[in-house]
Amino acid sequence: MIALAKLIAARVASSVLTLVLVSLVIFAAASLLPGDAAQETLGQSATPAQIAALRHTMGLDVPAPVRYVRWLKGMAKGDPGQSLVANMPVRDIIAQRLPNSLMLAAMTALVAVPLALALGITGAIYQGRSIDRALNIATIGMVAMPEFLVATLGVLIFSVWLMWLPSIALVSDTSTWFDIVRSCALPVLCLTVVVVAQMARMTRAAVADQLGRPYVEMARLKGVSLRRIVLVHVMPNAIGPVVNAAALSLSYLMGGAIVVETIFNFPGLASLMVNAVTSRDMPLLQACAMIFCGAYLILILIADVVAIVANPRLRAQ
Amino acid sequence: MIRALPWSGRIGLGLVVFWLAVALVGPWLAPHGVGDFVDMDVFSGLSARFPLGSDYLGRDVFSRLLYGARYTVLLGLGAALLASLMGTSLALFSAVNGGWIDEVVSRAMDTLTSIPSKVLALVLVAAFDSTLGLLLVICAITYAPGSFRIARALAMNLLQLDFVTAARARGEGKFYIALGEVLPNMVGPLLADLGLRCVFVVLLLSGLSFLGLGVQPPYADLGSLVRENISGLSDGAPAILAPALAIASLTVGANLLIDAIRTGGDR
């Protein structure tokens, strides 16, 4: 048990180190910007004295390493600075948007994980049969499908032709649960398509691997039904790789959300980040990028820790 | 060789060859100029004169598609080649040197892979700009770490083998071992990886263009065509579906082909 705890602690420490290095990359990239924020804010007509004064208030007149440490300390305390465009604390802007994105991610996970499990287990049970081959081709195709095609097709089918669902996701404090679910249905559908293919493929591989083991053959020879073999014998053994697959695939949500939130005008963190790039609002962009990287690292960390806990051989290493 | 492919692989091969051909000769086949306003109507449907309808300004979608495919395909190929080149050379450098050099380079690449590719690309676009040349470099930087990881794993395995030990015993230099002994033995897997990286780059690039952060006017790749016609979505205009389907047929086709080659046609 102590060895396991040590292994997990080492893995967590490595993630924290990676996050610090990632922050260095993001800070460095944002500092490469030609010209600086003070010049950009004041425009061409500003006098050098005005620019120097603003540079001082924005803290741009100190060397980059000092600014990095200040910024990192601020991020750690939950205060990533002041937005250049909206002229309000980045924390307040993000606080409005983050819950919406988390809700979207949670709804997508709720739909995508059971669906991927069902598809993956079906493929594994009918290995080599036509349904498995059809699923294989379909998931390979879905992996390479651009998110905006899925989204535009979704809008075309469900809101233009069938007129069932709204094409713009409006979320406000007054909307009821039904309204929220209805307006999120299309974004969730698109994100599900983005993540489900990879998840189903990895689930299939994990379950198929177990189905080829001798203990499954033994159970079959005993006359255990296929349903019971999968649910009672195979799933407990495959749960590690399957949770690993789910966590890894959910990390594709980060990329998918950037396109999907923009298409549906969804007031989430990813569309906020795209706006920050367009308006060159560096403090806001840096904060959004750090949140995405943090979430990504947490998902991968979960995947790795589950793999360690589920596999006794990994624990021994 | 084509006979060994399953039908899905043949379809994939057909689509890939088709898009390569369009990228090379497309502009000469275009019935109208890329920026010519030829239709009085906007978002018109399919017709003999405009095979894929007209766009939001009354330009011919078919002609714009033939021109746009060039940017999508060639930028995708170029960026994927550059990514593989950067990843593989760094991997060889780090593998033959070993020790702290390997540690540092691997850690740096791990850091870059820990940033979701779209997030990294957005940060780089904000930091630099999105001219065509910079987009190529940005996409290459985004996907070089993935290529590094695969190339390094391959190189580390090869370095354990007897022929490398023999070369070391002969007193060959690191440079020769990397390029003369290791590299020729990893070409196959690297080519498959290059194909996959092409798919990723095309998806990333058209995604960026779709967000308005990729290829900028007056140039237009397939992603920009989807973006500029987004207002036609409520009419179900072919101007928005055609370029989106074009990208999907390219990426899905390439993915089917790579999968068929990898599984060795045993399905």
Question: For residue B42, is pLDDT > 60?
Answer: yes
Confidence of residue A226 (pLDDT cuts 50, 70, 90): confident
User: Is B116 close to A140, i.e. CB distance below 8 A?
Assistant: no
Distance CA B54, CA B63 (A): 10
Decide if pLDDT at A317 tops 60. Answer: no
pLDDT band at B78 (very low <50, low <70, confident <90, very high): very high
CB contact under 8 A, A274 and B211: yes
Of the pLDDT bands very low, low, confident and very high (cuts 50, 70, 90), residue A209 is: confident
Identify the CATH assignment for B7-266 out of 3.40.50.1000, 3.30.465.10, 1.10.3720.10, 2.70.150.10.
Answer: 1.10.3720.10
Residue of B nearest to A251 (CA): B116
Q: How far is CA B68 from the centre of its chain?
A: 15
Q: Is A32's CB within 8 Å of B128's CB?
A: yes
Is the predicted pLDDT of residue A178 greater than 60, yes or no? yes
* Interface test with chain B among A20, A152, A201, by most B beta carbons within 10 Å: A152
Specify the pTM.
0.86
The answer, yes or no, to whether residue A236 has pLDDT greater than 70, is yes
**Residue A160 exposed, middle or buried by CB count within 10 Å (0-12, 13-18, 19+):** middle
pLDDT per residue over B194-235, tens digit each?
988 999 899 999 888 988 888 888 888 888 888 888 877 777
Name the band, by pLDDT with cuts 50, 70 and 90, for residue A111. Answer: very high
Would an 8 Å CB–CB cutoff place A143 in contact with chain B? Answer: yes
Torsions phi, psi of A82, nearest 5? -110, 135
What are A95-109's pLDDT values in tens digits? 888 888 888 888 899
Q: State residue B85's pLDDT score.
A: 93
Higher-scoring residue by pLDDT: B170, B5? B170
How would residue A37 be classed by pLDDT, with cut points 50, 70 and 90? low
pLDDT at residue A283 above 90? no
Binned at pLDDT 50, 70 and 90, residue B39 comes out as low
- Nearest CA distance, A38 vs chain B (angstrom): 16
Q: Is the CB of residue A197 less than 8 Å away from at least one CB of chain B? A: no
Cis amide linkage into residue B218, ω under 30° from 0: yes
Does residue B82 have a pLDDT over 90?
yes
Does the structure show a pLDDT above 70 at B264? no
Q: Is pLDDT at B267 greater than 60 in this prediction?
A: no
B115 contact residues in A (CB cutoff 8 A): 22, 25-26, 289, 293, 296
Of B108, B128, B244, the CB nearest to A149: B244
Neighbours of B10 (CB within 10 A): 15
pLDDT in tens, B232-249: 777 777 878 888 888 989
DSSP-based three-state secondary structure for A34: coil
- pLDDT at B112 exceeding the cut of 70: yes
Task: Taking the CA atoms of B250, B151, B113 and A67 in sequence, report the sign of the dihedral they define.
Answer: negative
**pLDDT band of A211, cuts 50, 70, 90:** confident
d(CA A288, CA B8): 40
Per-residue pLDDT for B127 more than 50?
Answer: yes
Mean pLDDT score, A277-298: 87
Q: How much is the pLDDT for B44? A: 72
CB contact under 8 A, A289 and B199: no
The answer to whether residue A133 neighbours chain B at the CB level (below 8 Å) is yes
Taking contacts as CB-CB distances below 8 angstroms, the residues of chain B near A251 are 116
Residues 1-40, chain A: which have Cβ within 8 Å of B?
18-19, 21-22, 24-26, 29-30, 32-33
Nearest beta carbon to residue B234 from set A137, A148, A160:
A160
Residues B118 and A261: beta-carbon distance below 8 Å: no
Give me the pLDDT at residue B26, please.
Answer: 78
For range A197-207, the mean pLDDT = 89
Chain A residues closer than 8 Å to B245 by CB:
149
Question: Does the pLDDT of residue A242 top 80, yes or no?
Answer: yes
Q: What is the mean pLDDT of chain A?
A: 83
What confidence tens digit (pLDDT) does each residue in A58-98 have? 667 777 788 888 888 888 888 877 787 777 888 888 888 88
For residue A284, give every residue at least 6 positions away whose Cβ sits within 8 Å of its Cβ, in sequence order, or none. Answer: A83, A84, A85, A86, A90, A93, A94, A272, A273, A276
**Cβ within 8 Å, pair B236-A156:** yes
Place of tokens 């379950």: A207
Q: Which of A17, A148, A194 to mutate to test the interface with B (most CBs of B within 10 A)?
A: A148
Does the pLDDT value for residue B175 go beyond 90?
Answer: no
Chains A and B form CB pairs within 8 A to the count of 143
Question: Where does the pLDDT of residue A174 fall: very low under 50, low under 70, confident under 90, or very high at 90 and above?
Answer: low
At residue B266, does pLDDT exceed 50? no
ipTM over 0.90: no
